[in-house]
Amino acid sequence: MSPLPSAHLTVDFEHWRVELHDEWLTRFGSPHFEPSRARSELLTRVVRHGVQQGGRHTLRFDRAQIIVANEVFPEAAMADPLADLEVWNEWSSGVRAFPYPGRFSRLGLVTQEGKTSATSSVGVLGEIMAGLFAQAGISPTVLVRVVRRWPDFIYTIGDRYAFVEAKAFTMRSEPGNEHLIPNGLGSRVQAPLLSECAHQAVLQLNADPAISVWGAFTAIRRIDPFELSVTFVEFDCGEHRRYSRLDRTLPQAVITGVAQRALSMAATRLAPQQLQQLQTLRRTNLREEVERQLVTLAQPFADSVLFEAGPQSAVDRSRGDVRDEIAHLARLATVPEQDEGRQFFAARALAAQGQAALVRAVGNDLIQVVDL
């Protein structure tokens, strides 16, 4: 019998800050500058000028905490990313092999290639770490969870927004690890990932210098037992550039995210027969009537989210844009046949009544939700 998996994960954490100077923003944000060259030159500057904030911290996470966080942070559906990575580790290290070659496989007559890397599990673990550390160090409330687009999370910090993008990789012989620099920030993050994030930060800060862009990089250094390195890289511009924009509006990612949240909440107020009209995009009078009801119901929800969505002047200037986005998304809305999220929302409804409601079982344990 093999030993039981460790009940804890050891994580060493570092926070780095990089100020993107005006010259960099102007030079590398131009559409005339080749993106691949921009990323390469930005990488050199980021590694050279990045400043570590607050030293290194070593933390221990309970395995159960990661399993619960798996319910709320990742966009991919996965029952247990830790168990998935442990199985992959057994195959890639030779502990397990296909049982089919026959009696003489130990003679080397049959070569078995290892299982491919569990890329989805790696990405999920990166999103979990990004969510946990961002809630602890940036803001406890996720304003927008962006799905299948950049960035992964949007938070508010006072009157500013923090865009957080999660990336993860293993420290095995993966493409990119050969570019790790011996010390400093470059020793913790793969060069292609760091340079890509820096370039995204340049483009976003040129569009809105009042936000900050964070890269949340998780390196899986060991699987048995789990040892991770989590590095948050904060990209920002100078204060004079940040405060030069007096006519602020909400970033488009915030507008879209608020509209999606408002529509999702509004849909809970519609009767099942009304939602049936949204199962196809075919234009009918009944569908258009339901769309109008959705837009009307969504507006108060949007206003409540916008109340804590950042600087009031930017919110006021963008209310019309949010209304337009709600109407646009309502025209594209469809109801999936399997009623997406039915089990979780049913559990939330029970929790609102003061009960501990079951979300799902994980082995012999239960994940429950309660209303705090």
Residue 43 banded pLDDT, cuts 50, 70, 90: very high
Averaged pLDDT score across all residues of the chain: 84
* Res 1: pLDDT: 43
304-346 pLDDT, tens per residue? 888 777 777 788 888 999 999 999 999 998 876 555 556 676 7
97 pLDDT higher than 80: no
- R_g over Cα of the chain: 23
159 pLDDT higher than 90: no
186 pLDDT higher than 50: yes
The pTM assigned to this predicted structure is: 0.82
Measured distance CA(318)–CA(95) in Å, rounded: 57
Q: Percentage of the chain with pLDDT > 70?
A: 84
Dihedrals phi, psi of 220, to nearest 5 degrees: -90, 100
Q: Order of strands across the sheet with 160-170?
A: 51-62, 8-20, 226-237, 212-223, 160-170, 153-157, 144-145
